[in-house]
Structures are given as C-alpha cells and as structure tokens.
Amino acid sequence: MNVLFAGGGTGGHLYPGIAMAAELKKAVPGVRISFAGTTAGIEATEVPRLGYPLHLLPVRGLKRGFSIRSLIVNVGILADFVSAIVQAVALILREKPDVVVGTGGYVSAPVLLAAQLTGRKTLIQEQNAYPGLTTRLLSGMASEVHLSFAQSLRFFGGNETIFVTGNPAREFDPEPRESCLDYFGLDRSLPTLLVFGGSRGARSINNAMLRFFGRLEGKVNLIWQTGALDAERVLAEAGTSSSRWIGPYIEEMGKAYGASDLVLCRSGASSLAELTNLGKASVLVPYPWATADHQRHNAQALVNDGASIMIDDAQLGDEESFKRILELLHGREELAVMGDLARKQSYVGAAAKLAQRIIALSKH
C-alpha cells in the first residue's frame, strides 16, 4: 500500500497528516508513506525529522489584496502553480500512490488536482469550520471529503461522499489534576488558567496577560506559554511566583490541560480538537488575520453550543474581558457545563478512523 500526503505550510495543515500516517503504520505493516510540500513550510523540517520522504514542489500562496505589487507577485505565483501541477503529475506517475490525501495549505491543491486528473483515489481532510479554497474547489472530484465540524456540511449540499470525522489531533492520557498541578509547582487549592497562542505565541494575548497577571496573584494559578519571541520580555516583567508557571513552550501539554480549569487560546482547528476531546471550557481569541477569518468560524462553532466564549483580539485587554475570565474561573458549575458541552463535539480517534477510510479506498 502506497499513500501520498499533501499539505503543510503550517502545523495545522501538516500534523493531521502526520497523525493519519502514524495510524496507517500501525494498521498496515510495510505501508509506504511520503509527503509533498514546500521548502517554506513547517513540513520542510518536520517531515524529514520524522523519517518520511518529502517531495518538494514550487508552489506559493496567493497574496491577498488588490495593490499593483500584489497583482504582479500573483502573476509569478500562478506561473509557479502551473509548474507545480506539471511536477505533481510527474510525481503521481512516478510514485503510483494508491491514495492521495490532501490536508490543506497551498501545496495540497496541485497534488490533489494532479491525482484526480490521473485517476487516483483522493481523500480531503478539512480542519476548519469554514472550508478552505482547495476543499471547496476539489471536493466534487474527490473520492471522499472528511470534515472536522458538522457545521461545515452546509457548504456541500448533501453529497454522499462527505463525512464528519473530526480533526486528527494529539490525544492525551488522563492524569489526576493534583499531580498535574504538582508538575508545574502550583497551588492545588486555586483554579487554574492555561494560556497559549500556539508554539510561537501570540503577542496580543501576551500583552493582555501582562496587563492583568498581577491581579490574578493569590486568586488563580496561571500556566502561560508565551512562545519563543516574547518569552524573555514576559519573564522579565512577570517574574516568578508560586502560583505561576511561565515559559516559551510547554513540553508536557497533556499535564497543562490536566491542571487547567479554563483555557484561553487562539481558535486554530487543532487546538479546538484537543479542547473538545478533553472536555475543556475555553475562552477563544480568533487570530484576526487568518485566511477567510476561518478562526472566527471555528470559534463560533463552539460558542453556538455553549462550550466556549469568544473575545475579539482587540478587546482581550479590556477590563470587561478580564472580569468575565475571572468570573468564569470561579464559576465551577458553569465551567463544568461548558466542559460537558465541549466534549459533546469531540471526535476522539479521528486519526484512526481516517486511516481506515484510506485503507478502504486503496482496495477499490
């Protein structure tokens, strides 16, 4: 069995593919797996590090906007895209994959299209509530499309090849809250707020927390992943405390979730999959410059069901926002209800289920 994954640029598009690949290796001994990507995306380092072959293609994302500069740049990008399709067709004919899996990002479009033009089975895995352009354009010719949110079904008109399977995300073994708090050296008697903005951090979230963190002292535990870019500045200003853990990156994310009563974070699809799988109440702050504002659509899916509250990026530092977060942290009943509602949106085992669908497609 031979499977080619196409997707990347960001971790949100790459890691679902890696999760499915890991499940395929468990299910099918000797399976051949490779990835297609670009030199500019996270896949350029992560895929080789994990031991998978990586096929590089000359494709870039379109520049948004209508300036003369954007239009000129986009002419070159479209030329690269045509070249990428030609190279992707050659890749498909050379590698002869049984199934091509697209997980989003601009590299997935030419590879999926090449696979469809050459008669290969294709599976598209869409992470976001508002489907990406590649998914919307190529879903009609795909063998199967798998969505992460039931709300996304409205974009596809009841097509029988569309399924809601969830987003393949990291899964964590449950651990006692007390031992997780002890790991971070925090007070067992206080509610705990977990804050992160992704592996690189989020400056607006960090700035808002710097404004208010002192008022949490003695009332709330704080686990705060700052990201590498802001770590030195935040640590210098915030200092140390027995009720705070601050660092650039959380190695043991499962323990951080286990210690937390409320999570404040961006609304990327992978983060939301983790929150729902674990049944965590959350305050979501959509990244305001995400493509097609997809993080707001993701957040709204949880807000509509009462699992989260959403705060605009520009309003996070407001006094009213801080009061609402503090109120939530001390409202155990409300947190419990939100957590239960989040869990109802979970799709635990999504990667394994998708691996089985890939195997099934390879046999037909």
For residues 120 and 99, the answer to whether their CB atoms sit within 8 Å is yes
- Residue 162's Cα: distance from chain center in Å? 20
Q: What separation in angstroms does the CA of 258 have from each of 58, 175, 194, 266, 285?
A: 42, 6, 10, 19, 21
Q: Using alpha carbons only, how large is the chain's radius of gyration in Å?
A: 21
Which of helix, strand or coil describes residue 268? coil
Distances in Å between the Cα of 134 and the Cα atoms of 24, 111, 138, 301 are: 24, 11, 6, 21
Contact call for residues 347 and 277 (beta carbons, < 8 A): yes
CA 282 from chain centre, in angstroms, equals: 15
Average pLDDT value for residue range 227-232: 90
What single string gives the DSSP state of each residue in 177-214? HHHHHHHTT--TTS-EEEEE-STT--HHHHHHHHHHGG
What mean pLDDT is predicted for residues 63-84?
57
pLDDT digits over 96-131, tens only? 999 999 998 888 999 999 999 999 999 999 999 999
End-to-end CA distance of the chain, in Å? 12
CA–CA distance, 224 with 221 (Å, rounded to integer): 10
- For Cα atoms 334, 340, 341, give the angle at the middle one, nearest 5 degrees: 90
Largest CA distance in the chain: 63
Q: How far apart are CA 177 and CA 174, in angstroms?
A: 9
Name the residue with tokens 């299209």: 113
Amino acid identity, residue 167? N
| pLDDT tens by residue, 255-304 | 999 999 999 999 999 999 999 999 999 999 999 988 889 999 999 999 99
Residue (of 199, 218, 220) closest to 335 by Cα position: 220
- Residue 58's pLDDT is what? 80
Look up residue 107 and give its two tokens. Answer: 């590299």
Average pLDDT over residues 242-250: 94
Number of other residues whose CB lies within 10 A of the CB of residue 215: 11
